[in-house]
Chain A
Amino acid sequence: MLSVWGQLNLQEGMSTIMELMNYFHDYMMIILVLIMTFVTYLFIFVITSPRLDKYTVDSHILETVWTIVPMVILLFMAFPSLYLLYLMEDVSNPNLMVKVVGHQWYWEYQYSNSWFNYGFDSYMVYEKSDSPLFHSLDVDNRLVLPTNANILFLVTSADVLHSWAVPTLGIKTDAIPGRLNYLSTMTPYSGVYYGQCSEICGSNHSFMPIVLEFIPMANYLDYVVSLSSQE
């Protein structure tokens, strides 16, 4: 999944969390459209009305109403927001752990398990002879991961600030030198998902993309076995 030209909305959600975020975004837009219409209408009325009241100095009722009503609206926004926030933070029993290290200007990935340890670098490619290329998005070595598995990413940086983001999975975290940030995701859908560095990190900040390749668990284990035999 990747953005297309002229896209205004969020990308389709390929993980449960991102689907929920899309629904939450629609819910917030309902509230925002409500407020925007109300304010715009009154704004036009105030500009075009021939009447004027130059003797109003205060109104306790009005001040009370325009404090209570936004407070109630904010409560309606806060509860689903906090629910989703805590749901995103939940990291329970990861099946796989991947270390992500940001460099200038490439990503380094390391599969890190008790039974398998393999690391590689992921550079952007400018040309791929055997398949069509997405401009500034394709890499030489993709991060291959299994579907239907809880994956924990530990993200850090070796030099300056970077940010590791994959919008279609709804994940993004800063890569900060000297600090380990964590992210968790799970997707039931195979496919190739793209992201880009999201924190300015130098001249090639726009040219260090992230490509995740999700395949079924059986194929993933086969891939891991082939990697182990290469080592």
Chain B
Amino acid sequence: MSVARPAATILRRPLQQDLKKHVTIAFALSAVAAVAWKVLVADPRKKKYQEFYKTYDEERQFKRMVEAGVFDSVKPNAEKSEWIANYEKEVDQAIAALKK
């Protein structure tokens, strides 16, 4: 009948043996933590910015803010200056011409 041998007791440089094991574990854990931060925090933040600005319409947001009364210099329902109205008309015409 064979009996399993018990694990050999480390009698030579036990601290160094332990250190080798634990420094390796520390490296592995820190790599995992770094990758976790990148995957769970850094990359989602970049993606959030990208997704938000893919459909961001600056003009629409500006109009929304004006309607909400956010600005002091641009009031909601204020009469547009003639030159702005003409300028916007010219821009719309130029965009329409480009689309043709």
| Minimum distance in angstroms from B92 CB to a CB of chain A | 13
| Minimum distance in angstroms from A115 CB to a CB of chain B | 16
Q: Contact at A225–B33, with CB atoms within 8 Å?
A: no
A108 to B48, CA, bound (A): 37
Given the complex, which residues of B lie within 8 Å of A188, measured CB to CB? 58
Partner of A38, one of B14, B30, B46, B88: B30
| Minimum distance in angstroms from A20 CB to a CB of chain B | 11
Q: Contact at A223–B73, with CB atoms within 8 Å?
A: yes
A33 to B15, CA, bound (A): 27
Q: Contact at A144–B45, with CB atoms within 8 Å?
A: no
| Minimum distance in angstroms from B22 CB to a CB of chain A | 5
Interface check A45, CB cutoff 8 A: yes
Chain A: interface residue total (CB-CB under 8 A): 40
Given the complex, which residues of A lie within 8 Å of B18, measured CB to CB? 45, 49, 51
Interface residues on B, range: 35 or more
| Minimum distance in angstroms from A8 CB to a CB of chain B | 12
Q: Contact at B70–A191, with CB atoms within 8 Å?
A: yes
Given the complex, which residues of A lie within 8 Å of B59, measured CB to CB? 216
A218 to B45, CA, bound (A): 32
Q: What are some 17 contacts across the A-B interface (CB < 8 A)?
A: A22-B45, A23-B46, A30-B37, A31-B34, A38-B27, A41-B26, A42-B22, A45-B22, A49-B18, A51-B15, A52-B15, A130-B69, A189-B58, A189-B61, A191-B70, A213-B71, A218-B87
A-side interface residues toward B, CB under 8 Å?
Answer: 19, 22-23, 26-27, 29-31, 33-38, 41-42, 45, 49, 51-53, 130-131, 142, 144, 147, 188-192, 213, 215-216, 218-220, 222-223, 225
